[in-house]
Chain A
Amino acid sequence: MSLRLKWRAALKEPLVHFLLAGLALFVFFAWRGDAVDPESRTITITEQQVERLAANWAQTWQRPPTQQEIDGLIRDFIKEEIYYREGLRLGLDQDDTIIRRRIRSKMEFLTSSELENATPSDAVLQAMLDKNPQAYAADARYSFDQIYLTAEDADAAALRAKQILGALGKGADWQNQGDAISLPRSPNDVDRARIAADFGEDFAAALAGIKPGPWSGPVASGFGLHLVRIRAVQASAKPSLKDVRQRLENDWRAQTVKVREAKAYQALLDSYTIRIAQP
């Protein structure tokens, strides 16, 4: 796209910023009808502006925003204002009247567009992995037996579970207990994700709290109740860089887009003085 090249070329030429800034700010303030000194790097958020942001928000969400949410709205508004002004300094408003949102997205784009082809070093990825090994660890794997009980009548099912547990304690054959359902009775070395897909997330989460060896439960699933005996657990192992390199690289790319955008914005933000009057 020739257009993008044009912007890039312009960005590389600092003189352009200064040459266009005066005209741009003039256009900007003429259009806004704002009385602020165009040379100023001061942004003043008035009470009315904060109220308007809050009112717009409340219209969508049917409740007033919290203080935290108001702060978020203000931060966003400032960001828009800064990108807008900076964009004008670059002369991005030439030929156009509908520019505000456009300039922000373009500024954001410029900070992140180089990333698609960047490749992080092993050291960078290893550091990411060391910082958060759990996120990249392979799932825990379980081997277990389960007895299923229909739970149309919750109280009756709980009572039955208790009775069966008692019988199992006295040596009853577990294979003859419970109700029929097309779920595996003795899953073997199955990872947590698959258990969650087959039995539901709650059931998979409950397994982590069960000691291997004896029968325990009942554990609820989306189907009913289960008595569970864990035969073996293989805890999630610390992954090696080789095993999870692609995932790390994907996450690095996604995070770095955000980080670079934030840094680029921060650099601009730092050169501004912000005054906020809250109602």
Chain B
Amino acid sequence: MKFIHYLEKISGVDIYALISFGIFFLFFLAMLTWVFKTDKNKLDTISNIPLDEQES
């Protein structure tokens, strides 16, 4: 039950850290390219969603 030292014998456990960081970093880069390549009109439409409801 003791919640420590379970995986200490796994060799090269740090590779998981690198992989997960890599995954995020690539995702982040992809997101950045998308953000800057996407059509401005589309973004304008989305950013107007809160405003385009009819006022009662």
- Answer yes or no: are A and B bound together in one complex: no
